[in-house]
């Protein structure tokens, strides 16, 4: 192990301990820089050179870190972090087949044990080769740190403005936080070790060979799918008929619960049908015979028909959710599952393209589409969309669930700020209280939080407003009102 790799690992650990204790914001990007450098140095020392797809995964992973830097909501941030970790594993391991895509993240865990021994041996070698040189360096660092602490404390005591500036720039490292800071240091240390070791000695997942499925007879695999095609065609014919004019009967139903049940249950059932269709396609591709041209033509015809009809199912599911949102408003869960249904439609299109142009790039295309979907979902700011749609609905018919809206994140503040009083203060008072309690440093503050604080500073929340009302009867009936979306 070379000195640059070791120093990058140590920098990652130190920054993790200092910054992560106060929140996310820009912290993830700041800590990611030395971690990426550690992996790059280790890969260079091992003789590995970056390939085009390696750069694609690396850039995609760094782009996903923009979500916590921009947004305050927890769920999009969680999705972005998981996706960024997966893309990092793809970049470090390489490979293009299904084993690399499915098992790549496991390699990071496998590298942790071997990586710890690898780093320890590297530290011992560096220490043995630098005896007599470490002393002056350590003394210099100690003197510089002592001077900063002493004179920084004196200047902070002499001027309140300087003390406030210093407090916003330097993390709180009080002794009461020592256990928490130590945990974060170890997290950053072992995380950087895992990345560096994987970059130097990745697992070759593409060498894992899955045994192909035994080819079935044409009748055995094709007949069930043809029957499924006919069922899809019949369902889609009914959906198209309703879509072209039959919704008026549903909308005019005397019982609102009937309308809700029609849209809500229909969406979930169609979402499950889409997922099951993907499983059916995967199994059919495994068992379908493709020994000659006639078999390949039959596979493309039957599965292509399934894919086309599934796209109609996707459109029908999205239409039902749109009806439900028009009636009862947008929530975090609804916008999330709608985004998932749209991505499933993209997956169907990619499978169709693989059937025409070949499936060599399909694993990478699916992984890239998932990461792009997560990035787009985060940058679209789900909480802002929810607030925007509900504010528009309030302007149209006066219906609003203030209890739900006050649980949104700071991303929703610009839209909620347009509400009239007292609805505005009712929706914003909890968000305002959370922002006042969590007035973090610049590196732990997202752009959304900073913008919300500016808005609430210019136009303060009226905390003397009375009770903000109960949810309407529709919203009490609505089972999504308590959706488990909020992640602290």
> CB atoms < 10 A from the CB of 59, how many?
12
Return the DSSP state at 288: S
Q: State the pLDDT at residue 482.
A: 42
Q: What tens digit of pLDDT does each residue of 425-456 get?
A: 989 988 998 888 876 677 778 899 989 999 99
Residue 1's CB: how many other CB atoms inside 10 A? 22
Distance in angstroms (rounded) separating the CA atoms of residues 423 and 402: 7
- Secondary structure (3-state) at 401: coil
- The stretches of 20-133 forming alpha helices (DSSP H) are 27-45, 52-64, 66-70, 74-93, 98-129
Contacts of 346 (CB under 8 A, 6+ apart): 369, 373
Query: How high is the pLDDT of residue 480?
Result: 40
The candidate with the shortest Cα–Cα distance to 463, out of 416, 430, 420, is: 430
Omega prior to 422 cis, within 30 of 0: yes
**pLDDT surpassing 50 at residue 474:** no
Q: Is there a contact between 271 and 219 (Cβ–Cβ < 8 Å)? A: no
pLDDT at 369 over 50: yes
Q: How many beta carbons lie within 10 A of that of residue 365, not counting itself? A: 18
Of 40-44, 46-50, 263-267, 483-487, the one with minimum mean pLDDT is 483-487
DSSP 241: H
The mean pLDDT value of the chain amounts to 78
Question: Looking at the predicted structure, is the pLDDT value of residue 228 above 90?
Answer: no
Contact 75, 484 (CB under 8 A): no
pLDDT of residue 123: 77
Q: Can you tell me the distance from the alpha carbon of 340 to that of 87, in angstroms, rounded to the nearest whole number?
A: 19
Nearest CA-CA partner of 121 in 131, 133, 109, 129: 129
The pLDDT value recorded for residue 473 is 39
Per-residue model confidence (pLDDT) at position 143: 65
**pTM, 2 dp:** 0.79
**Nearest residue to 93 (alpha-carbon basis) of 167, 202, 235:** 202
Query: What is the band of 266 on the pLDDT scale with cuts at 50, 70, 90?
Result: low
Phi and psi angles of residue 438, each rounded to the nearest 5 degrees, phi first: -115, 60
**Do the beta carbons of residue 285 and residue 352 sit within 8 Å?**
no
Only one residue has tokens 């993830």, namely 28
| pLDDT at 484 (0 to 100) | 38
**CB count in 10 Å sphere of residue 227:** 10
Query: At 477, is the pLDDT very low, low, confident or very high (cuts 50, 70, 90)?
Result: very low
In this structure, are residues 333 and 480 in contact, taking their beta carbons and an 8 Å threshold?
yes
Per-residue burial over 237-253, b if 16 or more Cβ lie within 10 Å, else e, is eebeeeeeeebeeeeee
pLDDT for 377: 94
**For the residues 107-128, what does the mean pLDDT come to?**
79
* Side-chain-side CA neighbours of residue 192 (13 Å): 31
**Residues 371-407: tens digit of each pLDDT:** 999 999 999 999 999 999 999 989 888 888 888 898 8
CA–CA separation, 74 and 66 (whole Å): 13
User: Checking phi first, is residue 377 left (phi over 0); if not, alpha (psi -120 to 50) or beta?
Assistant: alpha
Domain ranges of the chain: 3-51+94-207, 218-379, 388-482
pLDDT at residue 436, as a whole number: 84
The C-alpha R_g of the chain, in whole angstroms, comes to 28
Question: pLDDT confidence of 478, banded at 50, 70, 90?
Answer: very low
Q: In the structure, what pLDDT confidence band is assigned to residue 273 with cuts at 50, 70 and 90? A: confident
pLDDT tens per residue across span 181-223: 788 888 888 999 999 999 988 888 777 766 665 666 667 777 8
**pLDDT-based confidence at 417, cuts 50/70/90?**
very high
């Amino acid at each position: 192990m070379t000195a640059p790799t070791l120093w990058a690992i140590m920098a990652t650990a130190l920054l993790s301990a200092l910054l992560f204790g106060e929140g996310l914001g820009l912290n993830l990007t700041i800590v990611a820089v030395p971690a990426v450098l550690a992996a790059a140095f280790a890969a260079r020392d091992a003789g590995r050179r970056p390939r085009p797809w390696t750069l694609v995964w690396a850039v995609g992973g760094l782009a996903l870190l923009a979500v916590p830097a921009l947004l305050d909501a927890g769920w999009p941030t969680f999705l972005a972090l998981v996706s960024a970790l997966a893309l990092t594993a793809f970049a470090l391991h390489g490979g293009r087949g299904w084993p690399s895509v499915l098992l790549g993240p496991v390699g990071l865990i496998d590298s942790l044990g071997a990586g710890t021994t690898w780093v320890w041996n590297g530290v011992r070698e560096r220490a043995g080769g630098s005896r007599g040189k470490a002393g002056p360096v350590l003394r210099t660092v100690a003197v510089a740190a002592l001077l900063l602490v002493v004179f920084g404390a004196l200047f902070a005591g002499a001027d309140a403005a300087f003390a406030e500036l210093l407090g916003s720039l330097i993390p709180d490292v009080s002794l009461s936080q020592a256990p928490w800071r130590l945990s974060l240091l170890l997290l950053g240390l072992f995380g950087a070790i895992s990345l560096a070791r994987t970059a130097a000695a990745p697992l070759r997942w593409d060498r894992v060979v899955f045994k192909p499925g035994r080819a079935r007879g044409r009748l055995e695999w094709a007949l069930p799918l043809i029957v499924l095609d006919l069922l899809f065609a019949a369902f889609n014919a009914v959906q198209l008929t309703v879509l072209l004019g039959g919704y008026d009967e549903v909308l005019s139903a005397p019982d609102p619960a009937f309308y809700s049940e029609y849209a809500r249950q229909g969406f979930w059932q169609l979402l499950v049908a889409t997922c099951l269709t993907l499983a059916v396609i995967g199994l059919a591709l495994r068992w379908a015979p493709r020994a000659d041209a006639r078999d390949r033509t039959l596979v493309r015809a039957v599965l292509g028909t399934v894919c086309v009809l599934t796209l109609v199912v996707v459109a029908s599911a999205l239409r039902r959710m749109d009806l439900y949102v028009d009636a009862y408003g947008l929530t975090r869960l609804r916008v999330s599952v709608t985004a998932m249904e749209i991505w499933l439609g993209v997956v169907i299109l990619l499978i169709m393209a693989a059937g025409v142009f070949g499936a060599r790039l399909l694993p990478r295309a699916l992984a890239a589409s998932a990461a792009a979907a997560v990035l787009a979902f985060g940058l679209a700011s789900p909480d802002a969309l929810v607030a925007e749609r509900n504010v528009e609905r309030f302007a149209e018919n006066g219906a609003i669930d203030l209890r739900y809206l006050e649980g949104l994140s700071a991303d929703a503040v610009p839209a909620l700020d347009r509400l009239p009083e007292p609805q505005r203060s009712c929706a914003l008072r909890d968000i305002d209280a959370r922002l006042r309690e969590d007035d973090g440093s610049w590196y732990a503050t997202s752009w959304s939080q900073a913008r919300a604080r500016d808005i609430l500073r210019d136009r303060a929340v009226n905390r003397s407003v009375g009770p903000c009302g109960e949810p309407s009867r529709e919203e009490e009936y609505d089972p999504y009102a308590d959706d488990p979306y909020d992640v602290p």
